[in-house]
Amino acid sequence: MASDKKVILITGGNTGLGFEIAKALYQSEIPYEIIIGTRTVSKGEDAIATLNKEIPQSASSLSVVQVDLTSDESIEKAIETISSRYGRLDALVNNAGGSFDSQIQEGKMTLREGFNATWDLNVSGTHVITSLAVPLLLKSFDPRVIFITSGTSTLTETENATHPNLIRINGSPPAGWPKPKVGLAVTAYRSAKTGLNMLMREWHRILKNDGVKVWAVSPGFLATGLGGIGPEKLKEMGARDPSIGGQFVRDVLQGKRDEDVGKAIRSDTIQPW
């Protein structure tokens, strides 16, 4: 059934930044069909219950679709469901992702397993769902695709150690091998997000003449559950409330950064490559 509301799919929408994006849209006066993409339907339903409790009145509607970015079958079924329900997709927010660096560091995954899992989820799965969503996006009068990137992905800033957070990820450990297992492990994650930036550039190129607006959004250092560190620990390291990132993505969806299509953007600037 076609909807007059803009139809937006948020992958990984039941928790962390994805949940905050859904919340920011649900709080907006603009009506949306907000689809929470989640690996576990019950968790998506719990997220909807929380949103309805926190925001009793909204112009928007919420629904859940099961989607696991590591499964082509799951992605295909999710797109089929959206097609049958709405007939189009106005925006795809490629938010789902994950970091497995800590599991590599702790010996729970081999180096190859951790790297493959990181790229499969953050890059390959994102590429597959974007590919399958294109026919629905092209039925929109204002199609938008957002790739959630990371401030750790910029090559330019790997030489920057002017801030404690940059020292954590860019500082070099003492000589010798093996290196001590201290600090924030991000090698696989930041490498994958750098790859995701190129994927965004490719989709910007591929869909430019179709009028699809594409960005990589770098939401900033947020206190989410990413990487298994825990929000409280991240806050001690200077992470901001995830709601700030959710509001930023909402602003992009509502046209406030249309002049920066094809770029990796931060809330107040363009992120260097």
- pLDDT single digits (tens) 19-37: 999 999 999 999 999 999 9
| Beta carbons within 10 angstroms of residue 189's beta carbon | 27
Q: Is 150 a catalytic residue?
A: yes
* Catalytic hit among 86, 102, 189, 191: 189
Q: Is 23 a catalytic residue?
A: no
**In-domain check, residue 1:** no
What's residue 239's pLDDT? 60
| Beta carbons within 10 angstroms of residue 120's beta carbon | 16
Pure H helices in 68-186: 72-86, 101-105, 111-119, 125-137, 164-170
Residue 230, pLDDT > 70, answer no
What's residue 2's pLDDT? 65
Question: pLDDT by residue (tens digit) across 159-193?
Answer: 988 877 777 888 888 999 998 877 678 999 999 99
What's residue 183's pLDDT? 64
SS3 state at 145? strand
Range of the domain at 231: 6-270
* Catalytic hit among 60, 102, 150, 153: 150
- Residues 196 and 180: their CA atoms lie apart, in Å, by 29
**In-domain check, residue 256:** yes
What's residue 179's pLDDT? 86
Read off the pLDDT of each residue in 35-61 and give the average, rounded to a whole number: 97
At 225, the pLDDT band (50, 70, 90 cuts) reads low
**In-domain check, residue 84:** yes
Question: pLDDT by residue (tens digit) across 69-120?
Answer: 999 999 999 999 999 999 999 999 999 999 999 999 999 999 999 999 999 9
∠ CA 45-4-263 to the nearest 5 degrees?
80
What's residue 181's pLDDT? 79
Q: In terms of Cα–Cα distance, which of 2, 37, 253, 255 is closest to 136? A: 2
Question: pLDDT by residue (tens digit) across 129-167?
Answer: 999 999 999 999 999 999 999 999 999 999 988 877 777
* Catalytic hit among 193, 213, 218, 263: 193
**In-domain check, residue 260:** yes
What's residue 51's pLDDT? 98
- Look up the pTM and report it: 0.93
**In-domain check, residue 44:** yes
What's residue 231's pLDDT? 65
**In-domain check, residue 93:** yes
What's residue 236's pLDDT? 56
212: domain CATH number is 3.40.50.720
**In-domain check, residue 199:** yes
Q: Is 86 a catalytic residue?
A: no
What's residue 166's pLDDT? 77
What's residue 110's pLDDT? 97
- Number of domains the chain is built from: 1
